[in-house]
Structure 1
Amino acid sequence: MENHAVRALLRLYQKMMTSPTLLHSPNRTTRFSGSEEVSNKTVIKSHSTQNREKSAGEGTTGDNKDDKCSMCLSNFTKKKQLKCKHEFCEQCLQNAVKHGGPFCPICKNVFGVMKGNQPDGKMTWNKCPLSLPGFPGCGHIFITYNIPSGKQTENHPKPGQHYGGTVRHAYLPDNKEGNEVLLLLKKAFDQKLIFTVGASRTTGADNMVTWNDIHHKTSMSGGPECYGYPDENYLSRVKEELKAKGIQ
């Protein structure tokens, strides 16, 4: 009886130890999941730490770069910041303005008042009832530029030499946008940007008063090929040309 009882007890124990319920008990699962969770947290924490260290390193490099002038590539001397937020040494900026005008050397934004070398003269205009092709229902603005002959100054290509003057006419539609362009052209004229002294593009003659890259309509008709109307994009184009010179 005793041996039979022992054998029965051993079989019961073996059956319990090999039971699927025991092998997949909640306690076992919890312990395994807990270990995996701890491991994952360790990896995530390590990865985050590395990212922070990397970002800190990149930030340091960027700061060092920002502390140098973009022109001379040296540490700033009397740092100057433009309205476009770009920064330069005071002397570097002065040299850039001297050779290229008041433009940001990086983004080309105008940060000052541009002055050209246009000789002294007059700009006048009057309004006429006749409509321009492409602008029905409104008259037109008739502009006259009068630049007398004179002697070149140090701002011109050949100081001391004579230059030939000119009288030029231009046309704008007498509508809202045309009058806006008129005021912009007047501002550009006052800043001596409409004309310059050089070789005439039409005759080839040197030492003449010539247009200075702000396009005008010098004919009422004939289209763009004849510097006239209709030309539906002219007003927007000339405003862009004026904006590039800081006139807006």
Structure 2
Amino acid sequence: MSFTQDYSGSALNGAAKEEGATAGDNEDENCCICLDTFKNKKQLKCKHEFCEDCLSKSVETMGPICPLCKYVFGRIQGFQPDGKMTWKTKRTSLPGFPGCGTIVINYDMQGGRQAARHPNPSKRYSGINRDAYLPNNEEGKEVLQLLKRAFDEYLIFTIGPDNEVIWHNIHHKTSKSGGPQCFGYPDPDYLSRVREELKVNGIE
């Protein structure tokens, strides 16, 4: 996972000011990163405070994410290669979601040559084609739109160590049945879990 230039290096100063507040130096408090007194203290919207330099270094490593509570204060962009996301609906319902039908998502990730943002620039990688399933109810439709935003931010897939497209860290249901052990339904907590995974990646 990476992050846009607007939130790295010296550009963090402007982003932190926009998303949070600049607090005055307080000799009685310490930065939780360097454990020293604050130097040019920055406060995020989540109210956690850090030295400006410490926060900038954290952004370079983790992206625009609070080191303490994981609040996302900037735009995260992943290493996903180019591809296509489409979806359709079917009348048949998923186990645990009777009477609402199914949303079938298709991800068509064709192979190619890795770009500068990928782990091995200029090397070729192999693609994949995957289907995923959501209930066609109100919450399922909301999750679909969140997944579309995540796809547009290159967060659904990444390129693995063997130069192949693999899932990143947002779990999908790739089977209609079989339960969680088979990446399928029924799984009553799945929609809330995937919302949390999306939130960690700045999608909510």
Question: Is the structural similarity TM-score above 0.5?
Answer: yes
Q: What is the count of residue pairs matched by the alignment? A: 179
For 1:244, the aligned partner's letter is V
Counterpart of 2:52 in structure 1 is: 90
Match of 2:169 among 195, 207, 213: 213
TM normalised by structure 1 equals: 0.67
CA RMSD of aligned residues (A): 1.6
- Higher RCO (C-alpha 8 Å, min separation 6): 2
2:28 is aligned with 1:65 = yes
1:139-182, Cα deviation, whole Å (9 max, x unpaired)? 11010111111222333222221111111110100001111111
Q: How much has 1:74 moved relative to structure 2?
A: 4.3
- Aligned-partner Cα distance in 2 for 1:229–1:85: 39
Structure 2 Cα separation of the partners of residues 189 and 221 of structure 1: 24
Amino acid at match of 1:64: E
Q: Which runs of 5+ in 2 are unaligned?
A: 1-25
Number of the residue aligned with 1:240: 196
* Cα distance in 1 for residues equivalent to 2:74 and 2:198: 14
Match of 1:151 in 2: 113
Name the SS of the counterpart of 1:185 in structure 2: helix
| SS of alignment partner, residue 46 of structure 2 | coil
Query: Larger Cα Rg: Structure 1 or Structure 2?
Result: 1
The question of whether the paired residues in 1 share the 8 Å contact of 2:111 and 2:124 is answered with yes
Percent identity (aligned):
60
Determine which structure has the larger helix proportion and give its number.
1
Structure 1 counterpart of 2:159: 197
Cα offsets for 1:38-77 (capped at 9, x unmatched): xxxxxxxxxxxxxxxxxxxxxxxxx5232x4332344544
Q: Using the alignment, how far apart are the partners of 1:155 and 1:69 within structure 2?
A: 32
1:175 aligns with 2:131: no
Amino acid at match of 2:91: P
Tell me, which stretches of 5 or more residues in structure 1 are unaligned?
A: 1-62, 200-205
